[in-house]
Each structure stands twice: as C-alpha cells, then as structure tokens.
Structure 1
Amino acid sequence: MSDETPICSAKGCRAEAVWVLAWNNPKLHTPERRKTWLACEEHREHLSQFLGVRGFLKDVVLLKEWEETR
C-alpha cells in the first residue's frame, strides 16, 4: 500500500478500501449531499448496517466505479 491507497473507515482497520458507502444525515445535510465512508471487504456489511439503521445510507458502490464517475 502507498500513502495514497484509500484505507477502510472502520475504527482501527488499516486495510485497503474497496467500497464507497455514500450517506447523508437529513438533519444536517441537504438531500443531494453525499458524505462518504470507505470500506474493505470485511467491514462493508458492518458499516452499511450502522448507517442503514439510522436511515443515512444512500448507496454502496465499488471504489473503482465511484472514482470513474467523479
């Protein structure tokens, strides 16, 4: 991994990110705003559930695809 390698957002994880979890807190953000967390394969489901139960999760996309659309 290089210094530019995206790292998983899970606490304490240093694994390379593979997924982008796009989310929005409707109490703080306008509807079109997307904040992002990065996730490795191991933490994608856990982070998705964390955001999902709060109603924040909007999309889960492969990092490679996310970068291609930006």
Structure 2
Amino acid sequence: MSHDDLLGALDGTNPAPAPSAPAGRPSSGTEARSASAADQQVCSRKGCGHLAAWRLEWNNPRIHAPERRKTWLACEDHQHWLADYLQSRGLLRDVLPLASNGTDTREKDS
C-alpha cells in the first residue's frame, strides 16, 4: 500500500483493501471449509477433512473459568493424538462420542 493509499484509507476517500490470509492458508476454520463440509462436522486436526466421531472438551485453567468448555472434534484416526496433545498440557476435560447427526451421545437431563 502506498503512502497516498494509506492517507486515503484514513480519511475514507480511498478505503484500504481487506486483509487476506497468506496464500495456501485459510483465514479461519469455519470460513475456509467448503459449502459441502460446512454442513458436516470435520476433524479439528490440521489438514484432516474426515468426519468427526469424537468431541474433545477442554479448557485452559489459566485463562478459562472452570465450567467453560472449548471443543475440538476428532475423527477415529486422530482422536488419540488430539486427546494426548490436550492431556499432556493439562487441558483435556472429557472425550465424548458423537452421534451420526453430530451431537454427543450422552443422555440429556429432562
């Protein structure tokens, strides 16, 4: 961006282009997924596009309240790898299977 472009962006006469992700890297997990994958839950392991079969619940006790849960999804092939990764850092709280519709299989309290 040239100096004139920057000044124009600041006064609104020449808006700056939106920042883009580096080539070859998606800007975020949900935005980067294709339309067909957006309806399905896929494994959180980088580079994996397989359907998730497990939900790994975790939190970082240094920055999250104890009741807060973040979720990673895992396919059959990566469930142990992702669980080991979180467990070795003291972050893993629970590993739950997903039903075929993408929800967990725990029974809900009525």
TM-score (norm 2): 0.58
Q: Which residue of 2 aligns with 1:66?
A: 104
Unaligned runs of 5+ in 1: none
Q: Distance in 2 between matches of 1:33 and 1:59?
A: 12
Q: 2:73 aligns with which of 32, 38, 41?
A: 38
Q: Secondary structure at the match of 2:86?
A: helix
Matched-pair identity in %: 48
Query: Given the alignment of the two structures, is residue 25 of structure 1 paired with residue 65 of structure 2, yes or no?
Result: no
Q: Distance in 1 between matches of 2:87 and 2:93?
A: 8
Unaligned runs of 5+ in 2: 1-35
How many angstroms does 1:7 deviate by?
A: 0.4
Q: Distance in 2 between matches of 1:2 and 1:12?
A: 13
Query: Relative contact order (alpha carbons < 8 A, sep ≥ 6): 1 or 2 greater?
Result: 1
Q: Which residue of 1 aligns with 2:89?
A: 54
Greater Cα radius of gyration, structure 1 or 2: 2
| Residues 53 and 76 in structure 2, CA contact (< 8 A), matched pair in contact too | yes
Runs of 4+ in 1 over 4 A off after TM superposition: none
What's the C-alpha RMSD, in Å, of the aligned pairs?
A: 1.7
Q: Secondary structure at the match of 1:15?
A: coil
- 2:60 corresponds to which letter in structure 1? N
How many angstroms does 1:3 deviate by?
A: 3.3
